[in-house]
Every structure is written in structure tokens, then in C-alpha cells.
Amino acid sequence: MLAISQDELGGPEVLKATTVPQPDPGVGEILVRVRAAGVNPIDVINRQTGQLVGQPPFILGWDVSGIVEAVGLGVTLYQPGDEVFGLLPFPHGHGAYAEFVVGPARGFVHKPDDLGHVQAAAIPLAGLTGWQALVDTAKLTAGQRVLITAAAGGVGHFAVQIAKARGAHVTGLARPDSADFVASLGADEVIDYTATDFSNAVQDLDVVFDMVGHDYPAKALQVLKPGGTLVSALPQSLPPVLAEAAERGIRAAGLLVESDRLGLTALVELMSAGQLAPTIAATFPLDAVGIAQTEKSGPGKTVLTVS
């Protein structure tokens, strides 16, 4: 099968189209013919540093939408021909940049008929990050006030919609050219972070969901009320603020997304209710993944298509 592999760490030029053996599904696994694969910032980080996946050679990619080609021993949820989408086990189950991929059957869900493969492949990693941060970790409820950084991004645009579906008052941080987009997702307020320090613009928040790091966790502590929650998708950014968070009575939690069939099912239910929709920034063919990782034409998610 065709796959995009790399033998060294570095820039997009290290990504090479190559032919590798097609995998076979093991016990509890399914073989999926990939129709689309999501592109995420963590792909770029690992291409450059191998931070979570170790040293090459490896095939990156975690988001998958496609068609079940074969099932392994013990699998009862799917049969060949079923259309599915899901998240390969993060971070060590990567391999979506290929024509076929094997993954645990319970890392996938059935793809709704009215959801295209491109749209489905945009959902798993980013959508589950938003769900696990706001629902599972922060336990966001109706009437609470939440601030979401990078609100126009892949994770952020899902997080805004999830928070609104939970009945929260949502403030999103975005550039001026993305403000209307974030508002269209349901944000009650949009702050231009290039002109305004959010720590001077909001207060008494219940939840801050941060995807930026740097000095944002420290600023978040200034706007959260006692008993509030700071959730970061960059756990490495939290140690410098943990002591102050404890003093202020604020929970600081670092999240790495997990493959999660229950969470995906909940996201599908939100889509069926008209409360959630992925935004596609751009699509590229599989062999143009280097360009896909470096170019982005708008808010939302970039997706690879596999013919």
C-alpha cells in the first residue's frame, strides 16, 4: 500500500511517499481502507521532534475515516463494507497517512450517511479534545462561563460549539479576521487577542480551556473564580502555575486526548441535533501532506483525501 513515511526528523521535505506492506487486523482490530485523514498540529510537532512517538521511521496521522476492509478475531461491531471514523490510539497508534490502517474496533464509530469522509476525518482528535476537556474534565454545565483560547482553530472551533451545546456562556479568543467565524459558532463574546489582553477583559470565569501555553495559564488564573478549572491541551505548560492555582483554589488539569468511542458517539449526537459541525479549512491529496502541514487557508481543520 501507499503510505507517507519519514526516516528522519525535520521539515516537510522528510515526508516521503513509499510502498509498505498492508497490515492485517489482529484480535479486536479492524482494517480500514482510508478515505480521509485529519491533519493536526501535533503531527507537525512529531514530524519535527518525535516528541510523543519517538525516533523514525514512522507513519504519522491519528484521524481516520474510511471503509472496513476486514475484521480481526472477536470483532462484532463491524463487518467489511461498513463506513467508520475514529481516532487511532494516541499517541502510539499513529499511521493514518496511508491507504490502509489497523486500529482497535472500539476506537471507531459508524459514520452517519449524511456525513462525508472529509468532514468525518476532521472530527476525532480535535473534537474529542474539546469534549474531554470541557465535559469529562471541567464538567461544564449550563450557565457557567468559559473562555476558549485559539477559538477558530481545529480544537477551538469544536470546543466553542460543545460549550454552547452545554448551555455555557462562551468567550472566544481569535484574530480579527476570524471573529465573525467564532461568533457564528455561538460564542457570546469574541476577544481580539492581538489587541487585548484577555486577563484585563474578563473575570469570574468557571472554566478556561487553553491551547496556547506560554503565559496563558498564568493569565487564566487571574480570571478564574475560586473553584474554577483551568484545562490545558498542553500539559507541559502547567507546572509553573500549579502552586498558585492551589493557593487560589483552582483546579489545573493537563489533557492529552484519548481514543474514546463514547465521546465520538456524543459528538455524533450533537451533529444529529444540529449543534455541531466541522469546518474544513482545506483539503489536500495524501501525497501533498507536506504542503497540508504548512499551508492553511482558513479556520477549522485541514484534511487529506485518499483515493
Tell me: do 22 and 93 sit in the same domain.
yes
Tell me: do 6 and 81 sit in the same domain.
yes
The total of structural domains in the chain comes to 2
- pLDDT at position 278 is 98
CATH code where residue 224 lies? 3.40.50.720
Q: Is residue 225 exposed (0-12), middle (13-18) or buried (19+ Cβ within 10 Å)?
A: middle
DSSP 65-119: EEEEEEE-TT--S--TT-EEEEEPSTTTT---SBSEEEEEGGGEEEPPTTS-HHH
Tell me: do 155 and 228 sit in the same domain.
yes
Spans of the chain, pLDDT less than 50: none
Tell me: do 94 and 198 sit in the same domain.
no
- pLDDT at position 147 is 98
Q: How far apart are CA 51 and CA 59, in angstroms?
A: 14
Q: What is the 3-state secondary structure (H, E, C) of 15-53?
A: CEEEECCCCCCCCCEEEEEEEEEEECHHHHHHHHHCCCC
CATH code where residue 301 lies? 3.90.180.10
Tell me: do 145 and 221 sit in the same domain.
yes
Tell me: do 96 and 134 sit in the same domain.
no
Q: What is the 3-state secondary structure (H, E, C) of 117-153?
A: HHHHHCCHHHHHHHHHHHHHHCCCCCCCEEEECCCCC
Tell me: do 46 and 115 sit in the same domain.
yes
Tell me: do 35 and 114 sit in the same domain.
yes
Tell me: do 215 and 237 sit in the same domain.
yes
- Domain that includes residue 100, residue range: 2-123+278-305
- pLDDT at position 296 is 72
Tell me: do 32 and 91 sit in the same domain.
yes
Tell me: do 118 and 173 sit in the same domain.
no
- pLDDT at position 297 is 72
Residue 261 lies in a domain: no
Tell me: do 245 and 298 sit in the same domain.
no
SS3 14: helix
Residue 272 lies in a domain: no
